[in-house]
Amino acid sequence: MKGIKGALKVAIMGMVMTLIASPAFARSIDMKGAGTALWIFLIVGAIIILLQLIPALILFFGFIGTMTTTALKGEKKVEEEAIVPDVEPAAVRK
């Protein structure tokens, strides 16, 4: 019952916010009066967003390479991966 009340509150608040905000977005956007600061802000913002693609592409292709290598190599046996050389205990003198 509490879950239904909470969901109903969230839905009502969302509807109220939509009704309040919609007149603000109803007017058309006029870029004639935009100053230089706006264009600098938009250009810098676009550059920052595009710079985020570099690490995203590195991670993406890294994951693709890892998955491809794993899929094409096949499975190794555990014994082959974990070969430990024979170790003999050393004598300790007192």
pLDDT in tens, 2-44: 788 888 899 999 888 887 876 666 677 777 777 888 889 999 9
- 26, part of any domain: no
- Distance CA(62)–CA(54), nearest Å, equals 12
- 16, part of any domain: no
- 28, part of any domain: no
- 62, part of any domain: yes
* Domain range enclosing 67: 36-73
- 42, part of any domain: yes
- 82, part of any domain: no
Whether residue 53 is predicted with pLDDT greater than 70 in this model: the reply is yes
Whether residue 79 is predicted with pLDDT greater than 60 in this model: the reply is no
The residue with greater pLDDT, 19 or 65, is 65
Q: Tell me what pLDDT residue 75 has.
A: 60
Count of domains for the chain? 1
Q: Tell me what pLDDT residue 49 has.
A: 94
- Distance CA(65)–CA(92), nearest Å, equals 49
